[in-house]
Amino acid sequence: MNKVTSTTLITPQIIAFEEPFTLQNGSVLPRFELIIETYGELNADKSNAVLICHALSGTHHVAGRHRPDDKHAGWWDNMVGSGKPIDTDKFFVIGLNNLGGCAGSTGPLSQNPKTGKDYGADFPLVTVKDWVRSQAKLADYFGIKTWAAVVGGSLGGMQALQWSIDFPERVRHALVIASSPRLSTQNIAFNDVARQAILTDPDFHEGHYTRFGTKPRRGLRIARMMGHITYLAEQGLGDKFGRKMREDAYKYNYDIEFEVESYLRYQGDKFADRFDANTYLLMTKALDYFDPVAEYGGSLQAALAHTTTHFFVASFSSDWRFSPKRSQELVKALIGAGKNVQYIEVESQHGHDAFLMEDKPYLDGVRAYMNNIKVSK
Amino acid sequence: MNKVTSTTLITPQIIAFEEPFTLQNGSVLPRFELIIETYGELNADKSNAVLICHALSGTHHVAGRHRPDDKHAGWWDNMVGSGKPIDTDKFFVIGLNNLGGCAGSTGPLSQNPKTGKDYGADFPLVTVKDWVRSQAKLADYFGIKTWAAVVGGSLGGMQALQWSIDFPERVRHALVIASSPRLSTQNIAFNDVARQAILTDPDFHEGHYTRFGTKPRRGLRIARMMGHITYLAEQGLGDKFGRKMREDAYKYNYDIEFEVESYLRYQGDKFADRFDANTYLLMTKALDYFDPVAEYGGSLQAALAHTTTHFFVASFSSDWRFSPKRSQELVKALIGAGKNVQYIEVESQHGHDAFLMEDKPYLDGVRAYMNNIKVSK
């Protein structure tokens, strides 16, 4: 068996789906590709497959490294690997970049077969439901009839939840972490500010910026800086930076004075370099649109009535973007619908980002749940 | 006696100070003007004067109207007037636009005597301490030795607090509402994002945008949209807008879909029309810089040890930008220093903006406090 560690070299694969794919909004993609990574081995009856769904800015690169000199391992390397909470010695784990993404799956940066140029703003808006259907095609490709588990944090958790509603027979366990059954008004509001920052950037060119050899860096940077604050808890941010200054005295200008400013600008710059603006826009819309409650006449319990999936739900005390209250709504609806659910609320100072962090009680909670999932040898 | 009601026509006055004024950062303004409004009558021994300090985007126009057809009265008209909590039948109330403002006081839009052009980015950064000193000059102008009270919410509350530290003999009562003895790291972070949105707007032209006949509208709009979310409570925003949509179905584009988007964009547009970007920048820096704790060796109690001012402190349960915890720090330091303080924590769904709202328990609290302030007939 190949052990997967933080230094294991992983090679992504691209899976092509050559049939037309109709999206929720009616648009048709003539074909699409998903870039994925896999960890561990699929067992004979294919009962040990786990799908990892990413959040707004995530990718298929969940664990291990691409090159020996990579500075960082995959984004959930503390969660996925040999002997880790999602143990690749037991499970066959797939990470993918979602449709519409900018890490290698078909998205705004891909070539539009109709024009021969990249899609840009012409790439259709995709929804969580679309992602789940595209992920079902991925399962088909591997001959996986039923996932042992679909796992995700934040927007990833929404996908896990949608799986349990749209394809309950194809997912035995859904792990819905730091997520919400629908966005709050405040969340929608923050998303709209982020989008407006990008849409009004003069370098946006109505989404066709690549044709102009440019990129709405300013807007993307502002969106990320703002977003980043909301992913962290006030207390955690305060503990880390306080009012620490770069120099002893105030400079009385708009350069960096406080360390937190330096940190945030760095985060914004880094993100603006690596991420595509159209993907950012469509990811935030997917968040806004996600609403199984509305689809089932305003009742989350009704949305979940037919599911046979078992649930693990986790929230973090200082997460104010997807607060424990939102997870509790989901848990209550699941209990009300008579479903099988485990819930942990983790004490944490890390806000929404806690779901990505090294935190023993949290990781142990996931580990215990995953250990109890039965798979054939 | 002239009654002051919401429809009373008020005429602002401009007071000129012709002597050089040295700011905390060492810059010297050769002269400056403050635009003010007054309500009620100054009594013979000048013991009934109340100063209203404004917050980030406030003005001198506190109560009444400028023209009969004005759509709105002044920004604190529910607080200041005949028979209102700050009763102009008893008190002589002054509202001013702060130095560096854009509503008529000397600021970035004013003419720089050195160049004959407007200051723009050359207007020096002013601090809360500078404002208090400029307000002391205003008191001198009226022959007011001691304010009966200095009152402010948010950044205005910081000015009231600074008055009690810098000129305790000149202020009998400080009303510090929805404020904080220093910004949290999160607050500084939000301010920096707002500033970056403005500073990186191509129309900013290093702060000399008026010379280019333009204005960094995009940046100002984004800053205000983001700020606005943080001034409201998640619950209040949810109660008001929920997920209400413009149309029945999703449009799958970036036009307005949710009512909260429409509301926010409107707020952003309105603000970008009326406000000056350089003033916005310097106001946020004044917030960041405010730190009497640092000035007194890290102890708020030490900063307050010498004050003779009496305090009224109010906070609002859902205010997460200047949370009750921050007011409680102030109250604890005041009690620790053996000072006279009344504190109310008001239950409210309106977040930070609650200090501007019609809320009976809150307004009654201020009313009761102000009623107990003794003034000569």
Q: Answer whether A261 sits within 8 Å of B184, measured CB to CB.
A: no
Q: In Å, how far are A34, A206, B149, B296 from B166, measured between CA atoms?
A: 64, 53, 15, 12
Tell me how close the Cα of A208 comes to any Cα of chain B, in angstroms. 15
Whether residue A255 lies within 8 A of chain B, CB to CB, comes out as no
Band (pLDDT 50/70/90 cuts) for residue B2 is confident
Mean pLDDT for the stretch of residues A59-80: 98
For residue A166, give the 3-state DSSP assignment: helix
Residue contact A185–B238, C-beta within 8 A: yes
Q: In 10 A of CB B124, how many CB atoms?
A: 20
Chain B residues inside the 8 Å CB shell of A188? 243, 258, 260-261
DSSP character at residue B81? E
Complex prediction ipTM: 0.96
pLDDT at residue B247, rounded to an integer:
93
B328–chain A nearest CA distance, Å: 16
Q: Is A218 on the interface with B (CB under 8 A)?
A: yes
Is B188 close to A258, i.e. CB distance below 8 A?
yes
Give the span between the Cα atoms of B134 and B32, in whole angstroms. Answer: 9
Tell me, what amino acid is at A94? Answer: I
Is residue A332 classed exposed, middle or buried when 0-12, 13-18 and 19+ CB atoms within 10 A define those classes? middle
CA distance B96 to B105: 8
Interhelix angle B185-199/A234-241, nearest 10 degrees: 90
**Mean pLDDT, rounded, of chain A:** 97
Catalytic residue among B130, B318, B352, B353: B352
At B37-48, the pLDDT tens digits run: 999 999 999 999
Q: Name B350's Cβ contacts closer than 8 Å, sequence gap at least 6.
A: B232, B233, B236, B316, B318, B357, B359
Q: Give chain A positions within 8 Å (CB) of B268.
A: 196
Three-state DSSP state, A41: coil
Amino acid (1-letter code) at residue A245: M
- Record the pTM: 0.97
Specify the DSSP element, H or E, that contains B14: strand B13-17
Q: Which residue in B154, B164, B180, B348 is the catalytic one? A: B154
- For residue A231, which of A187, A184, A175 has the smallest C-alpha distance? A187
**C-alpha span between A15 and A36 (Å, rounded):** 8
Examine the pLDDT at A1 and tell me if it is beyond 80: no
Which of the residues A182, A187, A192, A199 would you substitute to probe the B interface, choosing the one with the greatest number of B C-beta atoms within 10 Å? Answer: A192
- pLDDT reported for residue B377: 82
Of A156, A143, A176, A167, residue with least CA distance to A47: A143
User: In chain B, positions 153-182, which contact chain A (CB-CB < 8 Å)?
Assistant: 182
Mean pLDDT for the stretch of residues A304-323:
97
Task: Work out the average pLDDT over A191-202.
Answer: 98
Which chain A residue is nearest to residue B217, measuring alpha carbons?
A200
Contact A270, A188 (CB under 8 A): no
Least Cα separation, residue B152 to chain A (angstroms): 24
The CB density around residue B246, as the number of other CB atoms within 10 Å, is: 12
Inform me whether the C-beta atom of residue B222 falls under 8 Å from chain A C-beta atoms: yes
A215-219 average pLDDT score: 98
Mean pLDDT of A152-164: 98
Hunting for tokens 């078992």 — which residue is that? A310
A243 with B281: Cβ contact below 8 A: no
Q: Is residue A361 pLDDT above 80, yes or no?
A: yes
How far is the C-alpha of A363 from the C-alpha of A373, rounded, in Å? 16
Would you state the pLDDT for residue A377? Answer: 82
Q: What percent of chain A has pLDDT over 90?
A: 98
| Max Cα distance, chain B (Å) | 67
- A195 and chain B: CB distance < 8 Å anywhere? yes
Name the closest residue on chain B to residue A219, using Cα atoms: B197
How many other CB atoms are found less than 10 A from the CB of residue A186? 23
A192 → closest Cβ in B182, B190, B261: B261
| pLDDT over 70 (residue B1) | no
Closest chain B C-alpha to A81 CA, distance in angstroms: 35
Query: Which one of B25, B125, B126, B186 makes the best mutation probe of the A interface by having the most chain A beta carbons within 10 Å?
Result: B186
Residue of chain A whose Cα is closest to the Cα of B225:
A193
Kindly indicate the confidence band of residue A212, based on its pLDDT and cuts at 50, 70 and 90: very high
Question: Looking at the predicted structure, is the pLDDT value of residue A231 above 90?
Answer: yes
Nearest CA in chain B to A263: B189
Q: In this predicted model, what pLDDT tens digit does every residue of B235-244 receive, in sequence order?
A: 999 999 999 9
Q: What's the rounded Cα separation, in Å, for the pair A288 and A189?
A: 10
